[in-house]
Structure 1
Amino acid sequence: MKSKGVNIKSLTKIYSGNNNEFKAVDNISVDIKAGEFVTLLGPSGCGKTTTLRMVAGFEVPTSGDIYLGGDVINDLTPDKRDTSMVFQSYALFPHYNIYDNIAYGLKLKKMDKGTIKDKVNSIIELVGLTGMENRYPNQLSGGQQQRVALARALVMEPGVLLFDEPLSNLDAKLRVYMRTEIRKIQKKVGITAIYVTHDQSEAMSLSDRIIIMNKGIIEQVGTPKEIYYTPRTEFVADFIGTANFIMGKILEVKNDKATIEIEGQKIEVNYNGTKKAGEECKVVLRPEAVTIARDGIIDVDVLLSTFMGSYQDYIVKTKNAEIKIEDNNPQGREVFKEGDKVKIAFSPLNVHII
């Protein structure tokens, strides 16, 4: 299976009607390397599905170009593009058994029966459906149907595999299992994958890189770690995980470091932005990065204390802000209750200036 890179250049999609124009995708550019697993992530209406559909050929760009393996594919119909799509609804043929569902695209290509049999059996084994070849879609669980849809796309040996929210119809436990399976198969085959979801944990667990979209534009592209620990904007920080936003003031900027004041404390943090000494800033502090105890650096009042199993969930109030804390594995430590006056602390490594 020969994977191909995807290059999106100044891509725009405008929908017109009733004297109104809606810019679903607004002049985005991104390069996806061959063999990479990239996820388009964002809320409903952010442009991620429209972008995927333009790559697949189901939507025509208003302007801009899409390159697949170095060739512009804007004018190619979906069947002429070296891509395969795994749909949200699976889109299996109910009157075909599993073998024939998977073999359908190969038969359209008029391959000989022997080649088809070899390819289909190989893919059936890869996705873990051996022994189910003669069953029909209505005899399969949701997870098994999803495997058939994946096998049908993979058997075509496309340069790029496209996923349109493929796990949204599955229950929570099966979603976690299937995303692990999809990633395992993608790595084994080495295929380029572009995956659309609004589920942040899905994006974090699957992706080499994540493209965060909002209102038709790209807010940030990066690895899951980069997106989580060094978000470029408040939107990204808020969309990925849970974030505390605290106002501060920059006192000094020097050699990729900034000395800032937050909640009356001076701390030095990593910084390569454009703000200067004297300017106000907003910092991100993740809930799991804050410790709560009798000793610490900032006085707080406990507003809420909730046992969540693997962690104790707190909301505390400082002089100027409310801060959410996830105190992981609290068993054996003092658990504070509403009304307690305690202290919090955190490492400067966990403070990020937006």
Structure 2
Amino acid sequence: MMIPARLLSPTLLAAVLSLPIHAASAAEVNLYTTREPALIQPLIDSFTSETQIKVNTVFLKDGLLERVKAEGDKSPADVLMTVDIGNLLDLVEGGVTQPIESTVLQETIPANLRSPDNDWFSLSLRDRVLYADKDLDITEFNYEDLADPRWKGKVCIRSGQHPYNTALIAAMISHHGEAATETWLRGVKDNLARKATGGDRDVARDILGGICDIGIANAYYVGRMKNSEPGTDNYKWGEAIKVIRPTFEGSGGGTHVNVSGAAVARHAPNKAEAVQLLEYLVSDKAQQLYAGANYEYPVKAGVELDPVVASFGELQVDAIPVSDIAKNRKLASELVDKVGFNN
């Protein structure tokens, strides 16, 4: 029962009025991510500015699945964000995600880039492209061509066991089967100009250095290199190459992509806010930030690209669902060892 202020003594009334007023708890969402904080902070800041929902970010370089499993049903995690479709599927198979219903996500993200069960969603794309010497007379390429003897001693690539490459090899298995992929992989190894090592930008570096003529790497690195400060090594590497989007023979023109993506945690204490964050990340503004700040390809159609990325031409994604490709990643890894690709 509330006592009218007129019935309180002056002393008691003064005491009541001096009590602090507590505002309702602000909405928040807890994000566990393996993505470098600097890459996603602009997206988080924009989301909070528009929604007033605070994002508490926990960066985990490794061990995301193990961390959430260990926390169990007391886990504060709401959204789990990572790169590589294999890592996303590990979260689902590890039992730390939950399906959600969102018309926004279903209508925005193509079916081959999200879970048919609505328990993970791609947020941006990373196309695996050909870096070629800028003076090389070549305008189109198939991934199968990497094994063509004409490129003997002219191919550079990072470790075959890196997730970027095991995903590509897994895609080759999806298109051509295990036996043909093993033959192809042996052919690529025979064409290597140097040991399969280093990073994607090292492919551009070694093309500039005359070690190789072509190589396979992710497109977004070129955006970073070509937008670097003129005169820096990264800028020189970027200027030394041109980008061609390869396709698989008989695929109808699709280029292999991997993804960055996210899922809602199984025990999310702030599920509504988690869904709101995912929906924001596929909005025009957020997808523009992915394209402009990270040079990744947006999953939403019609979003303006960074000029460097736009210069590569339209991206037609391989039609095989990335989740189907990921089922072959263990076999792909085994083939890398079988042919001694990294030796």
Global fold match (TM > 0.5): no
Q: Larger RCO: Structure 1 or Structure 2 (Cα < 8 Å, ≥ 6 residues apart)?
A: 2
Between structures 1 and 2, the one with greater helix share: 2
Query: TM-score category by the smaller chain?
Result: under 0.3
Question: TM-score, normalising length from structure 1?
Answer: 0.24
Between structures 1 and 2, the one with greater strand share: 1
